[in-house]
Amino acid sequence: MSEQGLFISFEGIDGAGKSTHIAALAEAFRAAGRTLTLTREPGGTPLAEKLRVMVLNDAMDPLTEALIIFAARRDHLQSVITPALQRGEVVLCDRFTDATFAYQGAGRGFDTHVLHTLEQWVQAVPNSNASAAQTAKAEPLLQQPDLTVWFDLAPEEAAQRLAGARLPDKFESQPVAFFKRVADGYASRMQADPQRFARINAAQAREAVWLDVRQVFVSKGWL
């Protein structure tokens, strides 16, 4: 019997330090014999990577930004994420839709109703895959991560870690107040769907953060 696909996303404000832990998890899953798809948003396909360059570098109005991000997400889901999950792979995705609610919604103040609508258009799962009980619900079934690991770090601390690290992009160059709103945005998303989230205290030393991350996967029986 083939293994179940697993869709994991990683979130947090810029500077929270998710990259090294994604790499370590990839290693741990490979060691456990799982086939991996390692990907990111915005991006993950040739088209979505082109859209990423625009989103991270060009000034644009918030609706344009949200539409481009969800267009990239649509392409990514259709050509990479969904096929990988159907093959039974582990998909490790550096950011997904929670980032849009946190950055575009809470950070930039864009209308979250519109984001919810775009989320439903882009992530709706075709009815044929839904059980009778699921289709009977008012809300359509959405393709969401099985687990979202949220690296939670105070914006002041993240800013210190980022200082001088490299040339900042459009979001990284935002003031601390912006990242406070983004962090609140992540907290609201977690509150709305607590089962899906694992909040990690990213203020700890790197090794302690890794032990916490690893423990989440061990306790779920995934590693």
Task: Report the interface residues with ligand TYD, using CB under 6 A.
Answer: 14, 19, 41-42, 56, 69, 94-95, 99-100, 103-104, 171-172
Smallest distance from ligand TYD to CB 107, Å: 7
Smallest distance from ligand TYD to CB 215, Å = 24
> DSSP string covering 12-24, please?
-STTS-HHHHHHH
Instruction: Identify which of residues 103 and 222 has a Cβ nearer to ligand TYD in the complex.
Output: 103
State in angstroms the smallest separation of the CB of 136 from ligand TYD.
Answer: 31
Strand ranges of the sheet holding 90-94, from the earlier edge strand across to the other edge: 36-40, 90-94, 6-11, 147-152, 197-201
Rounded Cα distance, 214 and 76, in Å: 26
The span from the CA of 11 to the CA of 97, in Å, is: 9
Instruction: Please answer whether residues 189 and 182 qualify as being in contact, where contact means their C-beta atoms are separated by less than 8 angstroms.
Output: no
Cβ closest to ligand TYD, residue 90 vs residue 182: 182
Q: How far is it, in rounded angstroms, from Cα 190 to Cα 42?
A: 21
Distance of alpha carbon 166 from the chain centroid = 22
Q: Which is nearer to ligand TYD, 45 or 104 (CB)?
A: 104
For 164, residues 6+ apart whose C-beta sits below 8 A from its C-beta are none
Whichever of 67 and 130 has its CB closer to ligand TYD, that residue is 67
Q: From the CB of 36, what's the least distance to ligand TYD, in Å?
A: 18
CB of 86 to ligand TYD, least distance (A): 23
| Nearest C-alpha neighbor of 66 from the set 109, 115, 107, 123 | 115
Closer residue to ligand TYD, CB minimum distance, 88 or 112? 112
Nearer to ligand TYD (CB atom), residue 19 or residue 86: 19
Strands (E), the chain: 6-11, 36-40, 90-94, 147-152, 197-201
Shortest distance, CB of residue 66 to ligand TYD, whole angstroms?
8
Helix 155-162 with 176-192: angle, nearest 10 deg = 130
